[in-house]
Chains A and B, each alone.
Chain A
């Protein structure tokens, strides 16, 4: 069974892109959140204790701008090494300068710029190999250590430095690693979604088939029920030729209904055989022949191209596939002729370049009531004495 093909990108690709997008947004929120909720309040709390408040505020604003620029680049999908590293380097220089300008020996309390460069690094190097972030975070740690050394390497500060380093760098590295490992669950989710879509498509097809079958059954009931109740009530006389024909037509339609549910390589010929049965039971010899006309359909020996439409391989002949409504129209025509045949019917199905030609030649004294022409089926007939020729041409092109 084939699933419905959805035009546009594969659902899996859409899903993977959605995952990547969510992660980008999470990193942007984390970096911006750190700057606004972490570094911002720290700076505000210590305004007045810096040698130059304006310089610290300007540095904070510069970092904020860099985060904004990095966010835009990330959300736009840019992964250029030059821009990423330029922004990261600028953030490192600014945060180091801000740390240097902090009051001596109060580094831990007043330095809001701890870790700011690290977040910028995560933000702008997210789409770069993990090693690049490693290099950048090492540079940041060295810069911080240099600032501390210049400050005099107070023991509590060094301990705090290691704690801060372990904390912030740990989180940053964890997020970057997570961003990459998320690809695995993303693939699993992708497969699950594909399976789900497949099941949904199968379900839809099954529903359609069931619906169509239901509709056909209702249609049959509309014609078969009155006939049966007429026979039961005695209003329809079984000896009446018209009643016998009506019964034969309904029986053929029932047989066709059963045949329609079968899975066969050539449904049209299969359904014609089912319809022919009703004539054969009356002792009418029915002979069904298939042929392919050249130029047109591919024969067995010739190379079959991949674009070959699904068709039937019957007695070595490839027939073009006819949609259900076409088979309906063709078999309705065949039933109308078959119930009137006296002793012989020859049914031929000829595949052509643009469809199929179904013809019936039989001995039939009365002209059958041919069903009103269905859209797409061109019906033609000719009578020569007792012999009747009826042809239906279905265009699949």
Chain B
């Protein structure tokens, strides 16, 4: 991307912000530029000055899960960056329109990748997301193929994608496709969001899924939101 990706960071822990900035500046290609750092959602510039939002889900001791949908509607591509690893929370945040979920443990390994993928409307599946997808108990969860499940499980277990490929006797590219397809299937679920539409459109464009495979929206609106501690 010739202009680079602009990112805003919403986090109330200076140490975390410094860490994220140091990862971003350590990128040899300098693909990402931080345009704003705030400790609360209300401090975000309007109109927005960034493509992607790195959002801590717990600000000032309060969960901001409910604000994700609104932020997504205002055009941000959201990468949730949180210390929480509860699968129900992860699914909720994706459902609200977040692009990817990166747990703080996975930050070093996956945060930049998730930000770049979000900017390009391409899927990015972290291990914590793989776990949440594998454990999805909801009746309307997307049907995953056996291969997609196997790839997700090995990825969750901690194997590299190259190792997963060897294990499954397929190419690394096919492993990526299996994992990404599982993620894209989630774009048709829950409340509609244009970030999800963008993800789906890009997936179809990339040949990841066929237009016919896209199921109509199913809503989880009736499901009570699980209590968060």
Are the CB atoms of B153 and A389 closer together than 8 Å?
no
Contact for B134 among A300, A350, A382, A387, CB less than 8 A = A350
Q: Which chain B residues (71-130) contact chain A, with CB distance < 8 Å?
A: 85-88, 105, 127
Are the CB atoms of A389 and B137 closer together than 8 Å?
no
Report if B174 contacts A (CB, 8 A). Answer: no
Bound CA–CA A291/B152 (angstroms):
12
The residue of chain A having its C-beta at the shortest distance from the C-beta of B226 within the complex is A301
Closest CB in chain B relative to A388 CB, distance in Å: 10
B153 surroundings in chain A (CB, below 8 A): 293, 350, 357
Are the CB atoms of A317 and B85 closer together than 8 Å?
no
Report if B131 contacts A (CB, 8 A). Answer: yes
Report if A332 contacts B (CB, 8 A). Answer: no
Annotate A322-366 by CB proximity to B: 1 below 8 A, 0 otherwise. Answer: 000000000000000000000000101010000001010100000
Bound CA–CA A301/B153 (angstroms):
22
Number of interface residues of B (CB under 8 A): 25
Given contacts A287-B105, A294-B141, A384-B163, contact A299 B157 (CB under 8 A): no
Are the CB atoms of B160 and A387 closer together than 8 Å?
yes
Bound CA–CA A49/B67 (angstroms):
114
Report if A24 contacts B (CB, 8 A). Answer: no
A346 surroundings in chain B (CB, below 8 A): 157-158
Most buried by A among B134, B141, B157, B160: B157
Bound CA–CA A233/B16 (angstroms):
52
The residue of chain A having its C-beta at the shortest distance from the C-beta of B136 within the complex is A294
The residue of chain A having its C-beta at the shortest distance from the C-beta of B84 within the complex is A315
Number of A-B contacts (CB under 8 A): 71
Report if A184 contacts B (CB, 8 A). Answer: no
Bound CA–CA A299/B158 (angstroms):
22
Q: Which chain B residues (119-173) contact chain A, with CB distance < 8 Å?
A: 127, 131, 134-137, 141, 149, 153-154, 156-160, 162-163, 166-167
Bound CA–CA A317/B131 (angstroms):
11
Closest CB in chain B relative to A87 CB, distance in Å: 67
B131 surroundings in chain A (CB, below 8 A): 289, 291
Bound CA–CA A346/B154 (angstroms):
12
B105 surroundings in chain A (CB, below 8 A): 287
Are the CB atoms of A348 and B158 closer together than 8 Å?
yes
Bound CA–CA A315/B90 (angstroms):
13
Given contacts A287-B105, A346-B158, A348-B156, contact A298 B163 (CB under 8 A): no
List, sorted by A's number, 26 A–B pairs whose CB atoms are closer than 8 Å: A287-B105, A291-B131, A291-B134, A291-B135, A291-B156, A293-B134, A293-B153, A294-B141, A299-B87, A299-B137, A315-B86, A316-B87, A316-B88, A350-B134, A357-B153, A361-B157, A361-B159, A382-B166, A382-B167, A384-B163, A387-B159, A387-B163, A389-B154, A389-B157, A389-B159, A389-B167
The 8 nearest A-B residue pairs measured at CB: A361-B158, A346-B158, A299-B137, A359-B157, A291-B131, A384-B163, A292-B135, A348-B157
